[in-house]
Amino acid sequence: MRLPLIIALFWIGSTLGASAQADQYDFVVALDGSGDYTTVQAALDAVPDIRKAETRILIKKGVYKEKLVLAGSKTNVTLIGESVKETVLTYDDFADKLNRFGERIGTSGSSSFYVYGDGFRAENLTFENSSGPVGQAVAVRVDGDRVAFVGCRFLGYQDTLYPHGKNSRQYYKNCYIEGTTDYIFGWSTAVFEQCEIYSKTGGRYITAASTVESSAYGFVFLNCRLSGDAPKGSVYLGRPWRDYAQTVYIGCTMDEHIVPEGWHNWDKPNAESTAYYAEYESRGSGAAPDERVAWSHQLSPSEVQKYDVVTVLGGWNPNEQTTVEP
């Protein structure tokens, strides 16, 4: 008689566990049909427009091949993956791909995921452009304001991550970002904290900021690890896509693939006087402050004080999960 009792107790426990899990989320996405939706886009579309409260969406393990759009009307959406390496949102467009009219879709058209909604947050997910080394191919383009990614992976080659919105503030914490050329690029103000920035063989530049002239900050890397399988002395920290590019590395560990000169002017000598490239206490075999280009900066202890997360992000504290007011 004990075996049926054990089975019954197990069934009750499993049912209660599943119910408790469901109660934590507004929607569940599962490829096997066990959730509310089988596609991520269907769950995003189901979010009420201009919602002031957070909408929490659990995405169960699986590879979801979808070209995703979070509309600007979908505010305060949080996506949570069941497993960062086993919950993959992917698509395979690339800039030279042709649309139905025979036109190139371009870099912006290549993105696997477009984030337009303010207050978006993602945790424990992999975002991928799976087209391979075929030129510009974006995994995620972000236009929304107050957007955060925590414990996520961004996989691709050229132009992997596109912080695009000119007034957008973004935060990346404990993330893994890989690519070859200009694989973190765009206009936005973005903080990368305790992230791994992985340079794959075949590329030469990590960042290509196009910071707006009036912006106080561009890309800021705090206590990150710059690693990769690129050859020794082959990768630059950044180059200016636009003349007023800003990129700063603070307390980062740099492996030997980093070029001793550190920075490249994109063959635009005039940009040397307008772009702002700086470091503070870089360490590792790729750190060479005495060999950096003369037009870059080594910050003083007093200068580095203005690069705390909240200050860079204009008063927004991404570690306090508050919603935006639509």
Structure confidence by residue, pLDDT tens digits, 59-68: 999 999 999 9
Query: Do 126 and 176 share a domain, yes or no?
Result: no
Strand partners, 4: none
Q: Is residue 169 part of a domain?
A: yes
Q: What is the pLDDT of residue 4?
A: 52
Query: Do 141 and 241 share a domain, yes or no?
Result: no
Rounded Cα distance, 193 and 172, in Å? 6
Mean pLDDT value of segment 230-238: 98
Least confident of 19-23, 39-43, 141-145: 19-23
Query: Do 200 and 133 share a domain, yes or no?
Result: no
pLDDT surpassing 60 at residue 268: yes
Q: What is the pLDDT of residue 213?
A: 97
Given 128, 153, 178, which residue is the final one in a domain? 153
pLDDT surpassing 50 at residue 212: yes
Q: Is residue 324 part of a domain?
A: no
Rounded Cα distance, 272 and 293, in Å? 10
Query: Do 136 and 238 share a domain, yes or no?
Result: no
Mean pLDDT value of segment 266-287: 98
Query: Do 132 and 180 share a domain, yes or no?
Result: no
Per the structure, the count of domains in the chain is: 2
Given 97, 125, 153, which residue is the final one in a domain? 153
Mean pLDDT value of segment 197-214: 98
Query: Do 145 and 169 share a domain, yes or no?
Result: no
Give me the CATH number covering residue 198.
2.160.20.10
Given 153, 186, 202, which residue is the final one in a domain? 153
Query: Do 303 and 184 share a domain, yes or no?
Result: yes
Tokens of 49: 């427009």
Q: Is residue 123 part of a domain?
A: yes
Query: Do 114 and 228 share a domain, yes or no?
Result: no
Rounded Cα distance, 40 and 128, in Å? 14
**pLDDT tens track for 162-190:** 999 999 999 999 999 999 999 999 999 99
Query: Do 190 and 250 share a domain, yes or no?
Result: yes
- Is residue 60 within 8 Å of residue 31, measured between CB atoms? yes
Query: Do 52 and 146 share a domain, yes or no?
Result: yes
Q: What is the pLDDT of residue 322?
A: 78
Mean pLDDT value of segment 74-103: 99
Mean pLDDT value of segment 110-133: 99
Is residue 14 classed as helix, strand or coil in its secondary structure?
helix
Q: What is the pLDDT of residue 326?
A: 86
Q: What is the pLDDT of residue 181?
A: 98
Where in the sequence is the domain holding 95, given as residue range(s)? 24-153
Least confident of 20-34, 82-96, 117-131, 240-254: 20-34
| Reported confidence tier of residue 23, pLDDT bands at 50, 70, 90 | confident
Query: Do 95 and 182 share a domain, yes or no?
Result: no
Q: What is the pLDDT of residue 1?
A: 41
Q: Is residue 325 part of a domain?
A: no
- The catalytic site residues sit at 182
Q: Is residue 3 part of a domain?
A: no
Strand partners, 278: 248, 297
Closest-CA residue to 84 (of 151, 149, 171, 30):
151
Neighbours of 25 (CB within 10 A): 18
Closest-CA residue to 43 (of 62, 28, 31, 22):
28
**pLDDT tens track for 134-163:** 999 999 999 999 999 999 999 999 999 999
Could you tell me what percent of the chain has a pLDDT over 90?
Answer: 91
| Reported confidence tier of residue 21, pLDDT bands at 50, 70, 90 | low
Q: Which amino acid is at 223?
A: N
In the chain, the N- to C-terminal Cα span, in Å, equals 59
pLDDT surpassing 60 at residue 12: no
pLDDT greater at residue 290 or residue 6: 290
Q: What is the pLDDT of residue 325?
A: 86
Query: Do 44 and 94 share a domain, yes or no?
Result: yes
Q: What is the pLDDT of residue 3?
A: 44
Q: E strands along 200-261, which residues?
A: 205-209, 219-222, 225-228, 236-238, 246-250, 253-254
